[in-house]
Structure 1
């Protein structure tokens, strides 16, 4: 996936949220996990269902809209123009201030039907870093979209997952919960210094 290089590049210090916010995060956590694993299509499907169940969930709407833009830009970059335009149309309906999305859809249509260097979609137009950051803000940040669920822990030299579990939970047996929250870690007993781990809050 084109956006994979961004997926784990973030610096977020997250405080424990109030109980109602934590409950909302729990409801959207599976979608956030799909997104963090690079499964944008799965995240789009999850947030679509979540919004269908609760149309007033502004946070699910924001995450869905940005995931749709990411998907659209990836599809257009892969010459999947019809899919990209469909995702852009949905996203534009949820982000009325983003006039650039309609323009990108028109450029993609021109490139598909009458390709020429003059109307080619530029790589800059397909950059999805702003949307990736917006989704990260919803998952980890402290602004209006964020409902905190995780802390971010930077692994120190020689630190083990069991020691990290003691630090956050006072229970070394809970290291498995930390591992489950970090599926990209293949060996929980060999952690590289500087690795960023998501620590589920309880």
Structure 2
């Protein structure tokens, strides 16, 4: 019996340097948190596959991280190419990282136009009693994006809070998106068959 191939979806992390994208990657891949004082500088794109199951459906998320090269223009095409989802990451304790998200959003729409987009406020453990970026700010940003943002999350790489839930929800969105695409493809195939059948029926009736 042939095994069922699990669909693989490329997911990219986007945002300013220092907002915790690599920490999100390490939590996703290895469930590890490395304090900034112990981190070693990494250069080069990196990716990791992880399988998720939603109901009776499975999907494999292939998460990509820039490895500190987000400011290198040459990574653009290879990094964004074929992305099915993009997670816009900012730091909840750094308003500046939030206010530049529109540029990263423009890059996603330009280079990965079919990607579903998600908003992640990271470093929730540092946001304090009066966060620099509030939930209202996040909601306003989503409204200004005219429904381009599929969902929003708050996470902490240090504690692990919200991270697994975020990726599970991203997997759910992609499974639903793939299911809708599959149904549309089947509908189109069915329409073509019906159209051909009608043409053959008409041809036969004309020859009588």
Per the TM superposition, whether the score is higher than 0.5 is no
Give the TM interval when normalised to the shorter protein: under 0.3
TM-score by length of 2: 0.26
Higher strand share: 2
